[in-house]
Chains A and B, each alone.
Chain A
Amino acid sequence: MTNLIVPVIIIVLAIALIFAANKQRKKDGFADYDERQLLIRGNAFQYSFYAVCIYGTLYFLYTRFGGHALMQDGVAVFLGVLLGIAVFAVYSTLSGAQFTKSSPMKAFLIIYGIAILANLLSTGIHIYAHDFVQDGVLTDAVIYPAVALAFLAAFIATLVQGMRDRKAEAEDEDGAEQPGDE
């Protein structure tokens, strides 16, 4: 029973934080996302939820019928959450609903780049220590390459969207018709 106290406290605190953040966000007017961006972010949230559900189901089936756990429970949960966040970020970015004037693309690219490098560095340390697998299951060391991969996906999506934006802006300034306009 005492083992449950810490997780329960964490869950209660997390729920309280989410409610507080949501209240503040409503007061602030949802950052400065416009109506289309809010709509797309709603869809992105939906897709990220589906991705987590699919991941959870597949992982459950694997551990239930595969005979043994693939990774430590906490790691499995973390990777599921990470997958959801990555799907949300990539979908929002590629749909032009991730960046606003107060959160410009360049700032995100720098943050993503730093996160990739930091996690690759940690991955290297764990590769050197040979501690990715313990007693036949993946340890929390796999979190670092997974986080690096998630940020890399977001980074690439940001670059792709940046190129699309620049192309569209150039075509707009030239007054040229965009491909397939007519």
Chain B
Amino acid sequence: MKNLKVKSARAAKDYSQQELADIVGVSRQTIAAIEKGDYNPTIKLCRAICRTLGKTLDELFWEEDEV
């Protein structure tokens, strides 16, 4: 499932995938994979992304329809 929340939060901060990747210390492909839903990041990376984008874990990574 695509993570459009990360994508829109990133766009709101006006970061490119590469800029966000550089800040959180991963490759651009990893950010792209998270946004496309191809990769589930560890909690450590989720927290780094949340801190950078000024969001909470719930706001970016919680899916209401998930069991």
Which A143-182 residues sit within 8 Å CB-CB of chain B?
A: 165, 168-169, 172-173, 175, 178, 181
The answer to whether B29 and A181 have CB atoms under 8 Å apart is no
Q: Is the CB of A35 within 8 A of B27?
A: no
Residues of B in contact with A, size category: 10 to 19
Task: Give every chain A residue within 8 A of B18 (Cβ-Cβ).
Answer: 169, 172
Q: Within 8 Å of chain A (Cβ to Cβ): is B16? A: yes
Contact B11 A165 (CB under 8 A): no
- Assembly CA distance A172 to B29 (angstroms): 11
Cβ contact within 8 Å between B41 and A35: yes
Number of interface residues of A (CB under 8 A): 16
Residues of chain B whose beta carbon lies under 8 Å from any beta carbon of chain A: 2, 11, 16-18, 25-30, 32-33, 36, 39, 41-42, 44-45
Within 8 A of B (CB), among A70-127: 96-97, 99-100
User: Are A34 and B26 within 8 A (Cβ)?
Assistant: yes
Indicate if A139 sits at the interface (CB-CB under 8 A): no
Contact check, A34 vs B25: say whether CB atoms are below 8 A apart.
Answer: yes
Chain A residue with minimal CB distance to B34? Answer: A36
Secondary structure dominating the interface of B: helix
A172 touches B16 (CB 8 A): yes
Contact (Cβ within 8 A) A165 B42: no
Do A35 and B42 touch (CB < 8 A)? Answer: yes
Residues of A within 8 A of B16 (CB): 169, 172-173
Known contacts A172-B16, A178-B36, A165 near B2 by CB under 8 Å: no
Q: Say yes or no: A181-B2 contact (C-beta < 8 A), given A35-B42, A36-B33, A172-B16.
A: yes
Please name all residues of chain B whose beta carbon is closer than 8 Å to the beta carbon of A175 when the two chains form the complex.
11
Tell me which residues across on chain A come within 8 A of B29, comparing CB atoms: 36, 96-97, 165, 168
Which chain A positions have C-beta within 8 A of B45?
Answer: 34-35
Contacts of A168 in B (CB 8 A): 17, 28-29, 32
Are B30 and A34 touching (Cβ within 8 A)?
yes
CB-contact partner of B27 in A37, A173, A181, under 8 A = A37
Residues on B with C-beta less than 8 A from A97 are 29
7 nearest A-B residue pairs (beta carbon): A96-B29, A34-B26, A36-B30, A172-B17, A36-B39, A34-B30, A34-B27
